Amino acid sequence: LRRLQQVAVTPLNMAGDPTRGLKILRESGQVQFELWDSDDVPVPRKELLQKVKGVDGLVCVLTEKIDTELLDAAGPNLKVLSTMSVGFDHLSLEELKKRGIRVGYTPDVLTDSVAELTVALLLTTSRRLIEATHEAKTGGWGTWRTLWLCGHELAGSTVGILGLGRIGVAIAERLAPFKVKKFIYADVAPRPELASVINAEYVSFDELAKQSDFLSVCCALTPETKEICNKDLFSKMKNTSIFINTSRGGVVNQEDLYEALSTGQIAGAGLDVTVPEPLPTSHPLFTLKNCVILPHIASASYATRNNMSALAANNLLLGLRGEPMIKELKL
Ligand code: DGY
């Protein structure tokens, strides 16, 4: 009799309800697992280090740092790591590779949800919706005034995408019907196949900054992209430009962004991601009217989170059986 494989699983419940992923694991008959059964707080590090001892597999989310300490705590049984995220900057890829641990992740299934939220955040920021509802609720709504709460519109604009992948294309496809004039993108190299879908022009990083009326950050966080959006970039942007980030907070130098927003160097910013997360409520960015901050909810639709959990569960089970995963990172 083969023993059931031991697996540790970090939150896969949603508001108390099991996700599809959790049901898949439960019904698989393949694994016996220890679940961190709270959607409210991440598993405390100390507890995770205990729980992973001797496991064959681990399902994690982006709040868990999978580093040498954790892999040492898990020990040599650990063969498969499955993260319920498309981003993998929380994983020590070199360490995982060195130990021959296979890694599953969840691209594609969240593209629509992230693109949809990005558009919502862009419009909220550019049309100043948070300020507007605040004014309406708190008595600031006086007579109709010509320039009161004016923002910037997408019609006739140039939209820039930093890092063109599936999500960047999905965002552009949703923005095109707003009568955007031109899409441009910057990346380490041209991506003609993806670019042709949205008729986007490849430009240098400098040109992206200079031309974009709306700049949407869609690149992964890597050592190369860390704080790539800094003083240098903001100083080249137009005073009327809107900066949107739904990728990772680490690609932005937040002090420089604060400076750009508070001096009027750029018109506004919409952020779904920050450093750290949660961003302390005392953070200076929260004092700015032209900065809209969301608590990392781009993939937060019931359908998408369920799909992510199912993909994470299936990646894990396939990996543990030694079969190809549905979505596996090439290490
Ligand atoms: C991811 O998957 O990396 C997103 O940031 C959260 O869904």
Min mean pLDDT across 23-27, 144-148, 224-228, 318-322 is at 23-27
Distance CA 25, CA 97 (A): 25
**227 φψ region: left (φ > 0), alpha (ψ -120 to 50), beta (else):** left
pTM: 0.94
Instruction: Report the separation in Å between the CA atom of 48 and the middle of ligand 1, taken as the mean of its atom positions.
Output: 21
ipTM of the complex: 0.97
Instruction: Report the separation in Å between the CA atom of 245 and the middle of ligand 1, taken as the mean of its atom positions.
Output: 13
Residue whose CA lies nearest to ligand 1 atom number 5 = 87
Asked if 296 is an active-site residue, the reply is yes
Distance CA 260, CA 271 (A): 14
Q: What's the pLDDT tens digit per position in 247-285? A: 999 999 999 999 999 999 999 999 999 999 999 999 999
Instruction: Please give the number of the atom of ligand 1 that sits closest to the Cα of 300.
Output: 7
Q: What's the pLDDT tens digit per position in 64-74? A: 999 999 999 99
Instruction: Report the separation in Å between the CA atom of 15 and the middle of ligand 1, taken as the mean of its atom positions.
Output: 18
What sign has the CA pseudo-torsion 136, 140, 143, 148? negative
Is residue 161 very low, low, confident or very high in pLDDT (cuts 50, 70, 90)?
very high
Q: Is 36 exposed, middle or buried (0-12, 13-18, 19+ CB in 10 A)?
A: buried
Instruction: Check pocket membership of 117 for ligand 1, CB cut-off 6 A.
Output: no
Q: What's the pLDDT tens digit per position in 29-59? A: 888 888 877 766 778 899 889 989 999 999 9
